[in-house]
Structure 1
Amino acid sequence: MNIILHPTYFPNIAHFVALVNAEEVTFEMDDNFLKQTYRSRAYIYAANGKLLLNIPVIHSQKNRQKYRDVKISHDTNWQSLHWKSLLSAYSTSPFFEFYKDELEPLFKLQANFILDYNLKCFEVVCDCLQLDLNTTKTKTYQQQIEDKTDFRYLVNAKMEEPQFEPYTQVFSNKYGFINNLSILDLLFNEGPNTLNYLKSQTLKTP
């Protein structure tokens, strides 16, 4: 199966279920940037439940701005905050120490553009998973896709979430299983079993 989807910030489990079951992955590079999507946000499982990690961006005065042109705002030390949140949430998870050294440099990387940063984060996660994907990038935007399964809808953070099988999470004894979090939640809790879990899950095609 050939698929197309958006590069997002530490993609959620739905994105990775689509990715691991694909023969070829095409990243949408030419769409407009929309607020309140997974392009700039990820959710993790913290001590008080579901926690949003949001990348601040510099919004253009224009009505529409291409995703690839959107710059990250470095007015606040958001990367340090995100890393501290991950430390607080997952330092006691089974595999945090195993992946920490690969992931920590991402939170010191001074990227200008959010799309570039998201792609770098994706690359590092794939290294952690030892996942070798055949990826390409779009050169123009097409609303209708005929030769690929279109998973671009997964970028919408307001849509009804696909449901996946529960796995053990750090604070599940407090708040139960929280579905479809960032791939980091699965990685820190399942470690080398992450790929097996992803391949065992199903995702409805749009």
Structure 2
Amino acid sequence: MQDGRLRAEEQVRQLTAENNARAARIQTMIDDFKSMKNELMESNAVKDQYIDNLNKEIAGLNEKLNEQKQSLQERNFTFGFERERLSETLGEKDSKIQSLERRIAEMDKELSGQSSTLSDRNIRITALTDQITAMETERGRAEKQRAELEQQLQKIREETNALKGQLQEKDETIKRLQNNVTLLKKELGGGN
């Protein structure tokens, strides 16, 4: 009977030691899980902050794009108005040139038989020719100005397209980050 009691006490000691070791292992696992959970929460917070920063950047780009669009509309309006004004000016110059050419033709016809007024006619023709030359020069300047406006409009279109491309890249980056966050949240949910 004494032997049975000793064996029972030995079994109790063994079971107690096993239970203590098992409890220590469980506590270690709990501590490891808490540490891993904290790391995941910190990583998730960093990614949330990064997404917020990206959202702010995209908002800024959207605002800049809207400003560019508004500026482009204003420039388009100004360009259209200026082009219309230049076209009207060129039309007026052409009409004046044609009128002057008709006057020269009429004067040539009237003065063809008047040799005594040849000097006066030459002076008038020279003056009219100078006017025509000046108008042609002015028309050339107007054509050059219109070409410059066309180049400015093309540059604005290229800048707008570049901004649209940047915005599309930002949208794709946000979508990818959102997918990553969704996956992380699913993993966290599965881990709990």
Q: Same fold (TM over 0.5)?
A: no
Q: Which of 1 and 2 has greater Rg?
A: 2
Choose between structure 1 and 2: higher strand proportion.
1
Report the TM range for the smaller structure's normalisation. Answer: under 0.3
TM-score normalized by structure 1? 0.17
Q: Which has the higher helix share?
A: 2
